[in-house]
Amino acid sequence: MKYRVTLIKGDGIGPEVTEATAKILNAGGAPIEWEEALGGLAAVEAHGHPMPAVTLDAIRRNRLGLKGPLATPKGKGYRSANVHLRQSLDLYVGYRPVKSLPGIKTPYENVDIVVLRENTEDLYVGIEHAITPDMVLTLKVSTQHSGERISRWAFEFMRNHGRRSILCCHKAPVVPMADGAFADAFEDVASDYPYIQHGQFAVDALAFELAREPGPFDVLLLQNLYGDILSDLAAGLVGGLGVVPGANIGDRVAVFEAVHGTAPDIAGKGLANPLAVLSSGLLLLEFVGERRIAERIERAVFDVLEEGKHLTGDLGGDAGTARFTDAIIDKL
Ligand code: NAI
C-alpha cells in the first residue's frame, strides 16, 4: 500500500529542503506517493492566494500533507498562509517534539520535551479593530470546546506514548477569563485520567526554567501564542530551528512541517539543512503506522550526525544540502 501525501514545497529554502526530504524518504523505502500542490508565493501567482482552496482540497482528499516554509506577502491583505491552513482544516493540535540529537553540541544533553499548542484560537483568530485613532482592541479567543478537545488529545497522547507528566502552562492570574477557561478545561479532562501526572505552571516561569534546566520537563500544553513562542525557545535548546520537526493535526487531516521559516538569507544557495522537514516526514511515517521505516531512516540520520563529517553550516559543518542528503542516503 502507498500513502498519498500532498507535498507543498513552499518558498525560500522550501524547495531545497522538501526535495532533499522526498529523496531520503524514497531511498529509505517509505511507501509514499507524492502529489504536489502550491502554497506561498507560487500559489499567489497561480491562484491569487498563498493557501488556495485547490491546495486545501488536495490535503483534505489525501488526509496527509508535508509542507515546506511559506512566505505570506506583507501589506497585501493576506493573513498568514499557515494560520489559514490550520484554521481551514481545523488542525487544532500543534505538535512539536523537541529532543537532544546525537552529535549536535548544545548546553543540554537530556532534552526530551513535547510542546502541544492549541492551534486555532487565541490572538490568532485575527480579530482586531481601532476603538479610537490611538487605541486598538485585539481579541484573545478561548472557548471551552477548544480547551477540552486539545486537552483530551493531549491526555490520549500521554497514554499512547507512555509519557511521564503533562503541564498546562498559562498566565491565568493576569488573564483570568481566557487562560482560566483553558486551565479549567484541562483540569476537567485530567480528572478522566487520574493515573497520569499533571499540573499547571506559569508560562513566564516556564521560559526561565527551560533556559535554566530543561531536563525535568516532559509534555507541555499551551494556548496558541504561548505555544508559538515557547516551542521556538525549546527548539533553541537542541540545536535550533533547522533540526526540529512539527505537525498540525486535526481529527481528519494532518499536515507535517518544519518549524523554521523560508530563510531568505541562504535560499537558493544549497546551504539549507533539510533535517527539520525530514524529521517531520518521519513523524508522518510514525503517524500512519510505519514506525520501522521511520526508525531505520532516523538511524541513518543519527549516524551522519554522530560522524560529524557532512554537517550543514547551521550545525557547525561545511557541507551543503546535497552532501548532507547523500551522506544519509549512503547510510541507508
Ligand atoms: P527563518 O526561520 O526563515 O530564519 C531564521 C534563521 O535561521 C536564518 O538565519 C536562517 O538562515 C536560519 N535557518 C532557518 N531554517 C534553516 C535551515 N533549514 N537550515 C539552515 N538555517 C536555517 O525565520 P525568519 O527569517 O524570521 O522568517 C523568514 C520568512 O519565513 C518570513 O517571511 C516568515 O513569515 C516565514 N516563516 C514561515 C514559517 C512557516 O511557513 N512555517 C515559519 C516562520 C517564518
pLDDT digits (tens, 9 = 90+) for 242-284: 899 999 999 999 999 988 999 999 999 999 999 999 999 999 9
180 CA to centre of ligand 1 in angstroms:
33
Ligand 1 binding residues, C-beta < 6 A? 13, 17, 69-72, 82, 241-242, 257, 260-266, 272-273, 276, 314
Burial 11-30 (b: 16+ CB within 10 A, else e): bbbbbbbbbbbbbbbebbeb
pLDDT confidence bin for 57, thresholds 50/70/90: very high
Distance between CA 126 and CA 250 in Å, rounded? 20
262 CA to centre of ligand 1 in angstroms:
4
pLDDT on residue 56 = 98
Q: What is the DSSP string of 141-178?
A: B--HHHHHHHHHHHHHHHHHHT--EEEEEE-TTTSTTH
Specify the residue with its C-alpha closest to ligand 1, atom 16.
242
Cβ–Cβ under 8 Å, residues 129 and 115: no
Q: Which of 82, 241, 259 to mutate to test the pocket of ligand 1 (most atoms within 8 A of CB)?
A: 241
149 CA to centre of ligand 1 in angstroms:
30
Please, what are the domains in the chain?
A: 1-100+238-332 (3.40.718.10), 107-237 (3.40.718.10)
**Which residue, 168, 169, 166, is CA-closest to 158?**
166
80 CA to centre of ligand 1 in angstroms:
14
Pairing type for strands 93-99 and 245-249 reads antiparallel
Counting atoms of ligand 1 from 1, which one is nearest the CA of 313?
20
pLDDT on residue 317 = 93
